[in-house]
Each structure stands twice: as structure tokens, then as C-alpha cells.
């Protein structure tokens, strides 16, 4: 009897130990939060979140917390998101008829100060598409270390030009000495120079007034870390071969520039001109003269305010510091910042059937592409520079005036895979095998093994207990 009792207790303890090892977390639902481990101040940081469940996902409500002193929320893709004070709320609701068991989206931030920033995701609600039941409340986090950018030592010029004559040899950033020959009729020479690094400073020295014979002018570039590089211009003004009278060349107006075939004037005072959102006041050198400008530090877009020659019809224009040209500044201001509309180099990323058209956004008409699906008649694709500094195609909602990053169909290669096997007439062994395979898929191999081992042990313990009771002597009172 004692031996049977000992066997019973051993079986019971073993069964409880095995079954008690089963995990108690929600089965099959988890979330991953990933981000680059390091970034520099001013750079863009993309946080990717992926939910994986054993059932199709119908809706999501969650919050992503972060250090607002280090990061600024810029935009989101694949999800609805709002908030920019250290907590961004995200939400998703499945509207298609083909829900998936995974949900991925990205949140874009701008690093604004040095420090460690921890992104913590907390799920408020995650529901099943079919039953609207909870799929659990998984959480995740990622940490990014933000450092101040290393100061650049780039002291090269990106462009160098003169108002008369021709540089010899042709300009190259590596060549620091040039010769220029100008006719006697030219009495002054302007030099235009732009640094390859936007943080470098450019200084032009030497007299603008040209004497007959040799003249020297110098362009000195000072890099952010203090490195300097000097480009020397030796200008030879030819002697007078005609009249002895020294003609006076009309003064060059540095504020006069050409946009297309139209002459415009650079406004030299922006005190009464409001800057576009996301842009800061700066200065830029044009025709050897410094003018007030606006620049977005994130992606270094430079704007100059131009007017007609009579000072009317003023507007900001994009200024290309590399080739010193101007183009129209088309933009749209939304909550996340300013989108600057550009012209794409190619349209390979557009979906098949997209047709080019023109779209009125605000007071400007910009190039756009309509989508082939009639149900998306209010949606267009535009090529733009986002507030976070990303250039590409964006999906524009004409009805609500919102933007969303566009991913071409070629990039989205994920397709739902139907792993369900249709019922068929199978034998008992196949049915048992299928049953355990389904358990493994739903609950994991460890849980199935634990149940498979623990259940028989518990059953054996019960049988031993029954035997013990059956063999217990009965005392009858007569």
C-alpha cells in the first residue's frame, strides 16, 4: 500500500512540475521595435514596429514614448499617428477584406540634441479582425544614442565663376590657381564662390577695381573644423589699344538675377517677410554680395526672396548653390512641416497605369500622377521633399490635404500565405498528427510537449489513486 502511495505522489508531482512550466503569456502575439543604435544631431531616425499574431489583426491602439528633449516626431507611414511632446499615439483599423497576421509601420523622428533616447511602445488595445477579441498587450522598446556631428574639414569650393573673362584652367575643386584675361573695357570684376560644405565659410579678398596689367583676387574657404583653403585668381587686364580715354564700366547690380528668361531682383531685407515653417534665417553669397536667405537645416534647402524689377510680386525661390540657378518654390505646409515639391529624375517607382496630370495644392499648381483605380480618385502621387528630409513619391489625399509616404508595389513583396488545409477524408493517425501540428503552430512546440508528457503522468496518478482506494480495507459494524 505504501509503495503504491509513493508511486502516486511521484507521478502527481512530476505531472504538476511539467504542466506548471507552461508559459502564461498571450499565445502567439508579440511586437518588435527596432531603430538604429546611433545617430547624429540633425539626422533622421526611423523607428520600425512590427506586430505578429496567430490571428488576423483588426485594430490597434498604442503609445510610443520617447525623450522629447532629444527627438522630435516628424511623420508616420502605414499608421495614423499624432502627438509631439514625448508621447506619440498610434492607431490602426483594418478596412480591407484581406486582413493579415502581421502589422508593420514606421515612425520618423528628427534628432535635435545629443543624448540617449529610449523609445517605449505600450499596446493599449490589439484586437482580432474576426471576433474583435483581445490579442494581448505586448510591449517593446529600442534605444538610440544621439551624438553631435563631427565637424567637417571640407574646405573645397563647389563652384567658382567671374563676371568677365574665363577661368583657365576650367574650375575644379582640386585646382587652386587660375588665370583670367579681361579686355581693357572691363574695369571691375565680381567673383562668385560657393562652398561644397554648407557649414563652411567663404571670403573673397582683393579689389573689385581692375588696373591695367596683373591683378590678384583670392577666395578663402574655412571649414567647420578650422581647416582653410585658398583659391588664387590672377587677372590680367589688357592695355588700351584704342582711345586713351579710360572708359568706366557700369557698376554691376549683384541683386539682379535671371529666372528662366525673366530678370528678378533679390530682396535684401526679409524683416517683414514671414519665413515658411521649418525654415530659419541665414545668409548666402550671390555675385560676391551677401543676401538674407532662408534655409531648412535638415536638408539644406536654400530660399531667396525675389521680386520683379519694380519690387512687386515677391516670392521665395529655390536657389541651387552648386550651379547658382533659381527655380520655383512649390510647397505645402501641413502639421508635420513643409513639403517641397520637386521634379523626379525618373518615374520607375510609379504604379502601372498612373497618368501624369496637374494638381492644385494651395495657391500653386504642381505636377502629379493620378492612380488607375477609380476608387482612389481623390488620391494622387507627388514627388516631394518631406519635413524629415526624405525625397521620393508621396501619396496625397486631395480631400483631407494629407501626405503619406508611398511604397511602390515592387517593394511590397509580402503576400498572405494560406496555410490552412481543407478538410478531407483521412485516417485516424493523420487526424492525430494534424491535431498536434495545429497545436504546435498555435501554442509552440514546448507547450505541446509539456501537455503531451504531463497529461499521461497525471492520468497515471489518478489510476494509482483509484487502485489505492479500491484496496483499502473496509470495516463493517455488525
Residues 136 and 169 in one domain: no
- Based on the number of CB atoms within 10 Å of its own CB, is 264 exposed (0-12), middle (13-18) or buried (19 or more)? buried
Q: What was the pLDDT predicted at 27?
A: 59
Residue after which a domain boundary falls, among 251, 266, 299: 251
Q: Into how many domains does the chain fold?
A: 5
The answer to whether position 183 is within a domain reads yes
CATH number of 108's domain: 2.60.40.680
3-class secondary structure, 375:
helix
Return the pLDDT at 442.
42
435 in any annotated domain:
no
- 452 lies in the same domain as 465: yes
State whether 156 and 246 are in the same domain.
Answer: yes
Ordered per-residue pLDDT tens for the chain, 478 residues = 556 556 555 555 555 554 444 433 355 789 999 999 999 998 999 999 999 999 999 999 999 999 999 999 999 998 899 877 899 999 999 988 889 999 999 999 999 999 999 999 999 999 999 898 999 999 999 999 999 888 889 999 999 999 889 999 999 999 999 999 999 999 999 888 889 888 899 999 999 899 999 999 999 999 999 999 999 999 999 998 865 444 555 556 778 888 877 888 998 888 888 888 778 888 888 877 888 888 876 656 888 999 988 888 889 888 887 667 888 887 776 666 678 888 787 788 888 888 888 888 877 788 888 888 888 888 999 888 887 777 888 988 888 888 888 877 644 444 444 444 444 444 444 444 444 444 443 444 444 444 555 566 667 667 766 766 666 555 544 4
- The strand pair at 201-205 and 262-266 is best described as unpaired
What's the pLDDT score for residue 454? Answer: 58
> Is residue 196 in a domain?
yes
Q: Is residue 430 part of a domain?
A: no
Domain boundary among 147, 177, 192: 147
Residue 215 sits in a domain whose CATH number is 2.60.40
Tell me: do 133 and 34 sit in the same domain: yes
Q: Are residues 56 and 143 in the same domain?
A: yes
- Does residue 460 lie within any of the structural domains? yes
- Listing DSSP states for 226-290 in one string gives S-EEEEEEEEEEPPPSS-SS---PPPP-TTEEEETTEEEEE-S--TTSPPPTT-EEEEEEETTEE
233 assigned to some structural domain: yes
CA distance 469 to 464: 9
Given this model, what pLDDT does residue 88 score?
Answer: 93
- Report the alpha-carbon angle 211-217-220, nearest 5: 170
Residue 431 belongs to some domain of the structure: no
Are 393 and 452 contained in the same domain?
A: no
Which three-class secondary structure state does DSSP give residue 456?
helix
Q: To which residue does cell 575644379 refer?
A: 172
| 17/101 same-domain check | no
Which backbone phi and psi does 4 adopt, to 5 degrees? -65, -40
Same domain, 225 and 289: no
Residue ranges making up the domain that contains 355: 341-405
> Is 392 within 8 Å of 385 (Cβ atoms)?
no
Give the predicted TM-score (pTM) of the model.
0.38
Residues 399 and 448 in one domain: no
In sequence order, the β-bridge partners of residue 397 are: 379, 402
Q: Please, are residues 71 and 60 in contact by the beta-carbon 8 Å criterion?
A: no
Q: What is the pLDDT of residue 8?
A: 55
List pLDDT tens digits, range 253-299.
778 888 877 888 998 888 888 888 778 888 888 877 888 888 876 65
Both 265 and 374 in a single domain?
no
The last residue of one of the domains, among 104, 125, 147, is: 147
Is the Cα torsion angle 350, 353, 356, 357 positive or negative in sign? Answer: negative
Task: Classify residue 363 by burial, with Cβ atoms within 10 Å: 0-12, 13-18, 19+.
Answer: exposed
Are residues 225 and 188 part of one domain?
A: yes
- Could you tell me if 111 and 203 lie in one domain? no
Amino acid at each position: 500500500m505504501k509503495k503504491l502511495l509513493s508511486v502516486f505522489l511521484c507521478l502527481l508531482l512530476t505531472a504538476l512540475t511539467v504542466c506548471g512550466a507552461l508559459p502564461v503569456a498571450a499565445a502567439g502575439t508579440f511586437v518588435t521595435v527596432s531603430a538604429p543604435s546611433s545617430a547624429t544631431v540633425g539626422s533622421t531616425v526611423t523607428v520600425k514596429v512590427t506586430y505578429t499574431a496567430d490571428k488576423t489583426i483588426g485594430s490597434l491602439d498604442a503609445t510610443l514614448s520617447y525623450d522629447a528633449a532629444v527627438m522630435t516626431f516628424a511623420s508616420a507611414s502605414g499608421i495614423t499617428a499624432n502627438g509631439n511632446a514625448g508621447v506619440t499615439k498610434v492607431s490602426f483599423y483594418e478596412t480591407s477584406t484581406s486582413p493579415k497576421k502581421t502589422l508593420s509601420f514606421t515612425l520618423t523622428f528628427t534628432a535635435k540634441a545629443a543624448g540617449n533616447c529610449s523609445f517605449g511602445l505600450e499596446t493599449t488595445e490589439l484586437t482580432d479582425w474576426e471576433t474583435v477579441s483581445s490579442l494581448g498587450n505586448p510591449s517593446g522598446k529600442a534605444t538610440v544614442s544621439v551624438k553631435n556631428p563631427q565637424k567637417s574639414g571640407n574646405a573645397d569650393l563647389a563652384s567658382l565663376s567671374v563676371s568677365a573673362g574665363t577661368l583657365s584652367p576650367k574650375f575644379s575643386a582640386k585646382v587652386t590657381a587660375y588665370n583670367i584675361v579681361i579686355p581693357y573695357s572691363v574695369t571691375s570684376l565680381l567673383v562668385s564662390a560657393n562652398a561644397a560644405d554648407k557649414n563652411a565659410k567663404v571670403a573673397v579678398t582683393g579689389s573689385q577695381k581692375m588696373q591695367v596689367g596683373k591683378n590678384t583676387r583670392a577666395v578663402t574657404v574655412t571649414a567647420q573644423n578650422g581647416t582653410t583653403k585658398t583659391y588664387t585668381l590672377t587677372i590680367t587686364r589688357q592695355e588700351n589699344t584704342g582711345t586713351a580715354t579710360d572708359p568706366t564700366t557700369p557698376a554691376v547690380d549683384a541683386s539682379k538675377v535671371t529666372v528662366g528668361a525673366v530678370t528678378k531682383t533679390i530682396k535684401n531685407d526679409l524683416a517683414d517677410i514671414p519665413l515658411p515653417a521649418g525654415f530659419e534665417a541665414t545668409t548666402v553669397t550671390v555675385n560676391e554680395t551677401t543676401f538674407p536667405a532662408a534655409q531648412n537645416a535638415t536638408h539644406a534647402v536654400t530660399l531667396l526672396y525675389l521680386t520683379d524689377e519694380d519690387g512687386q510680386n515677391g516670392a521665395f525661390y529655390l536657389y541651387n548653390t552648386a550651379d547658382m540657378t533659381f527655380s520655383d518654390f512649390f510647397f505645402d505646409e501641413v502639421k508635420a512641416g513643409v513639403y517641397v515639391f520637386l521634379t523626379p529624375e525618373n518615374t520607375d517607382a510609379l504604379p502601372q497605369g498612373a497618368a501624369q496630370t496637374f494638381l492644385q495644392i494651395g495657391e500653386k499648381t504642381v505636377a502629379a500622377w493620378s492612380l488607375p483605380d477609380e476608387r482612389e480618385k481623390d488620391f494622387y502621387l507627388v514627388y516631394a521633399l518631406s519635413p524629415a528630409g526624405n525625397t521620393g513619391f508621396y501619396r496625397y489625399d486631395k480631400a483631407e490635404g494629407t501626405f503619406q509616404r508611398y511604397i511602390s508595389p515592387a517593394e511590397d513583396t509580402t503576400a498572405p500565405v494560406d496555410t490552412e488545409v481543407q478538410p478531407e477524408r483521412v485516417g485516424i493517425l493523420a487526424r492525430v498528427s494534424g491535431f498536434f501540428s495545429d497545436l504546435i503552430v498555435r501554442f509552440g512546440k514546448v507547450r505541446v510537449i509539456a501537455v503531451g508528457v504531463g497529461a499521461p503522468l497525471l492520468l497515471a496518478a489518478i489510476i494509482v489513486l483509484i487502485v489505492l482506494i479500491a484496496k483499502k480495507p473496509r470495516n463493517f459494524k455488525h
